[in-house]
C-alpha cells in the first residue's frame, strides 16, 4: 500500500472488469473512489461494498459517459461527495458484434464513437477544468483505456472499435502536452486480451480463452494485471511519465 493518500479517484465503468479491479486496487492504496456505471447498479454496489468492507471509502454513480448531461452531473456528484478530484480513469468502453465495415450501420458507428471517444474526451475536459493549475486546481492524473486493437486494426472483427482506440491514443498524446505545464499527467494503457465480460457483450463469450492461445505468453491477462499498471501511472512513482502508452498484452 502506498500510504493512505486520501486522493479522490473517479473510474468510469468502474463496476465490472478492468474498472472494478482498478477501483478495488485504488481503494487498497488509500484512494477514495467514485465508481461509475451505466446500467448494472448491482455490480457497482458490490464493488462499493467490497471497498467499504476493507475499510475504504467509495460510492456508486450512474452516468452514461456518452451523455454530456450525465457527465456534468457525475463530476458535480463527485465534488459534492468528496470535495474535489485528483485522478480520473477513463475506462468505460464498449465493443460490438463481429462485423465488416461494409456491414456497419450508422447507429453502430455513432454509439461506438460516442461512448469510446466523445465520452472520455468529455470526462477529461471536466477533469482538466478541476485539476489544472491554470484553472486553480492542484494538478492530477488521467489514465485513458486504449487497446492493442488500435495497433492491430481489428480487420473483420471491429475496425470501428480499433479506430476509436486510435482516437484515444492521439487524444492522450495531445492532452498530455497541452496540460503538461499545468500539473496534470495524461497517459494510456493498451490492454491485449483480458478476461472480462466485454467479449461476451460483443457476442464472443469464449474469446479470452480462445485468443489467449495466440498470445506469446499463451494466456489472456487478468483485470488485476491491467489495474496494477493503471495505479502505477496514477501514482507519484510515475511523476515524470506523461503521454505514455503502456501495452499490457503478454507480448502480443
Ligand atoms: P467490461 O467488463 O465490459 O466492463 C465495462 C464497464 O464499462 C462496465 O462497468 C460498464 O457498466 C461500463 N460502461 C459501459 N458503457 C458505459 C457508458 N456508456 N457509460 C458509463 N459506463 C459504461 O469491459 P472491460 O473489458 O473491463 O474493458 C474496460 C476498458 O478496457 C474498455 O475501454 C475496453 O475497451 C478496454 N479494453 C479491454 C480489453 C479486454 O480484453 N477486456 C482489451 C483492450 C482494451 P455497466 O456494468 O453498468 O454496464
* Tens digits of residue pLDDT in 131-165: 999 999 999 999 999 999 999 999 999 999 999 99
Q: From the alpha carbon of 39, which atom of ligand 1 is closest? A: 47
Q: From the alpha carbon of 194, which atom of ligand 1 is closest? A: 40
Return the pLDDT at 1: 38
Cell readout for 26 is: 485504488
Cell readout for 34 is: 467514485
Residues annotated catalytic, as ranges: 161
Return the pLDDT at 70: 99
Q: What is the mean pLDDT of residues 164-172?
A: 99
Cell readout for 198 is: 466485454
- Distance from Cα 94 to the centre of ligand 1, integer Å: 6
Return the pLDDT at 116: 99
Does 16 map to a domain? yes
Does 1 map to a domain? no
CATH code of the domain covering residue 58: 3.40.50.720
Residue with cell 472499435: 161
* CA torsion through residues 150, 152, 153, 154, sign: negative
Return the pLDDT at 134: 98
Q: How confident is the model at residue 219 (pLDDT cuts 50, 70, 90)?
A: very high
Return the pLDDT at 146: 99
Condensed to tens digits (0 to 9), the pLDDT of residues 88-114 reads 999 999 999 999 999 999 999 999 999
Cell readout for 6 is: 486520501
The average confidence (pLDDT) of the chain is 97
Q: Whose CA is nearest to atom 31 of ligand 1?
A: 93
- Distance from Cα 178 to the centre of ligand 1, integer Å: 27
Does 33 map to a domain? yes
- Distance from Cα 116 to the centre of ligand 1, integer Å: 9
Return the pLDDT at 2: 39
Element containing residue 111 per DSSP (H, E): helix 106-113
Does 2 map to a domain? no
Q: How far is it, in rounded angstroms, from Cα 183 to Cα 139? A: 4
Q: What is the mean pLDDT of residues 113-130?
A: 99
Burial of 98 from C-beta contacts in 10 A (0-12 / 13-18 / 19+): middle
Q: What is the mean pLDDT of residues 176-196?
A: 98
Cell readout for 217 is: 505468453
In 3-state terms the chain splits into helix, strand, coil percentages (rounded to 5) of 50, 15, 35
Q: What is the mean pLDDT of residues 118-133?
A: 99
Return the pLDDT at 50: 98
Q: How confident is the model at residue 3 (pLDDT cuts 50, 70, 90)?
A: very low
Element containing residue 198 per DSSP (H, E): helix 198-201
Domain ranges, residue 165 = 8-248
Compute the CA torsion angle 154, 157, 159, 164 (nearest 10 deg). Answer: -90
Does 71 map to a domain? yes
Q: How far is it, in rounded angstroms, from Cα 40 to Cα 62? A: 9
Does 123 map to a domain? yes
Cell readout for 240 is: 515524470
Q: How confident is the model at residue 184 (pLDDT cuts 50, 70, 90)?
A: very high
Q: Is the CB of 196 under 6 A from ligand 1?
A: yes
Terminal CA-CA length for the chain: 30
Return the pLDDT at 251: 97
Does 237 map to a domain? yes
Residue with cell 448491482: 42
DSSP 121-183: HHHHHHHHHHH-GGGT---EEEEEE--THHHH--TTT-HHHHHHHHHHHHHHHHHHHHTGGGT
Q: Is the CB of 23 under 6 A from ligand 1?
A: no
Q: What is the mean pLDDT of residues 201-226?
A: 96
Count of domains for the chain: 1
Q: Whose CA is nearest to atom 29 of ligand 1?
A: 91
Return the pLDDT at 148: 98
Has residue 13 got a pLDDT over 60?
A: yes
Does 79 map to a domain? yes
Condensed to tens digits (0 to 9), the pLDDT of residues 32-69 reads 999 999 999 999 999 999 999 999 999 999 999 999 99
Q: How confident is the model at residue 24 (pLDDT cuts 50, 70, 90)?
A: very high
Q: How far is it, in rounded angstroms, from Cα 144 to Cα 130? A: 17
β-bridge partners, 89: 11, 143
Share of the chain above pLDDT 90, in %: 98
Q: How far is it, in rounded angstroms, from Cα 12 to Cα 119? A: 9
Cell readout for 37 is: 456505471
Amino acid at each position: 500500500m502506498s500510504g493512505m493518500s486520501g486522493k479522490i479517484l473517479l473510474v468510469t465503468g468502474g463496476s465490472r472488469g478492468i474498472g472494478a479491479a482498478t477501483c478495488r486496487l485504488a481503494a487498497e492504496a488509500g484512494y477514495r473512489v467514485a465508481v461509475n456505471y451505466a446500467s448494472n447498479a448491482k455490480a457497482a454496489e458490490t464493488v462499493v461494498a467490497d471497498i467499504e468492507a476493507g475499510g475504504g471509502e467509495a460510492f456508486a454513480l450512474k452516468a452514461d459517459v456518452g451523455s454530456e448531461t450525465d457527465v456534468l452531473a457525475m463530476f458535480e456528484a463527485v465534488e459534492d461527495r468528496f470535495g474535489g478530484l485528483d485522478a480520473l480513469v477513463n475506462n468505460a468502453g464498449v465493443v460490438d458484434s463481429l462485423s465488416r465495415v461494409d456491414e456497419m450501420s450508422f447507429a453502430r458507428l455513432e454509439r461506438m464513437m460516442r461512448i469510446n471517444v466523445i465520452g472520455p474526451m468529455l470526462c477529461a475536459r471536466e477533469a482538466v477544468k478541476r485539476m489544472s493549475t491554470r484553472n486553480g486546481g492542484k494538478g492530477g492524473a488521467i489514465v485513458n483505456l486504449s487497446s492493442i486493437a488500435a495497433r492491430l486494426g481489428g480487420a473483420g472483427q471491429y475496425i470501428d472499435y480499433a479506430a476509436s482506440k486510435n482516437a484515444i491514443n492521439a487524444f492522450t498524446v495531445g492532452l498530455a502536452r497541452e496540460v503538461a505545464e499545468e500539473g496534470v499527467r495524461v497517459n494510456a494503457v493498451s490492454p491485449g486480451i483480458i478476461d472480462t465480460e466485454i467479449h461476451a457483450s460483443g457476442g464472443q463469450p469464449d474469446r479470452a480463452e480462445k485468443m489467449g492461445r495466440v498470445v506469446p505468453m499463451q494466456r489472456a491477462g487478468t483485470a488485476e494485471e491491467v489495474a496494477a499498471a493503471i495505479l502505477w501511472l496514477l501514482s507519484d512513482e510515475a511523476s515524470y511519465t506523461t503521454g505514455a502508452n503502456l501495452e499490457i498484452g503478454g507480448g502480443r
